[in-house]
Amino acid sequence: MINKTLLKRTFGRAARFYDTYASVQNLTARTVLEKIAPCNIHSILEIGCGTGNYTKLLHDRFPRAKLTAVDISPEMIAQAKKKLKPSAVEFIVDDAEEIDTIKHFDLITSNATVQWFKDLKCALTKYKQLLNERGKIYFSTFGPLTFYELQESLKAFDAKICVAAENFIDKDALKKILRSQFTYTSVQEATVMSTYQSLKELLECIKYTSGVHSGSSKIWTRHALNGLEKIYLKKYKRIAARYQVFLCHAE
Helix or strand or coil: residue 97?
Answer: coil
How many other C-beta atoms lie within 10 A of the C-beta of residue 131?
Answer: 20
Residue type, 125: T
Which residues is 148 bridged to in the sheet? none
At residue 214, does pLDDT exceed 50?
A: no
Q: In this structure, are residues 114 and 139 in contact, taking their beta carbons and an 8 Å threshold? A: yes
- Per-residue pLDDT of 100-141, as tens digits, reads 899 999 999 999 999 999 999 999 999 999 999 999 999 999
At residue 21, does pLDDT exceed 70?
A: yes
Could you give the CA distance from residue 136 to residue 115 in angstroms, rounded to a whole number?
19
At residue 213, does pLDDT exceed 80?
A: no
Whole-model pTM: value is: 0.93
Which residues is 137 bridged to in the sheet? 108, 250
Whole-number percent of the chain with pLDDT over 70: 95
Question: What pLDDT shows up at residue 132?
Answer: 96
- Per-residue pLDDT of 42-61, as tens digits, reads 999 999 999 999 999 999 99
Question: What pLDDT shows up at residue 68?
Answer: 97
| Structural domains in the chain plus CATH codes | 4-143+167-191+243-250 (3.40.50.150)
Average pLDDT, the chain: 92
Burial (Cβ within 10 Å: 0-12, 13-18, ≥19) of residue 173:
middle
Model confidence band, residue 4 (pLDDT cutoffs 50, 70, 90) = confident
Question: What pLDDT shows up at residue 1?
Answer: 63
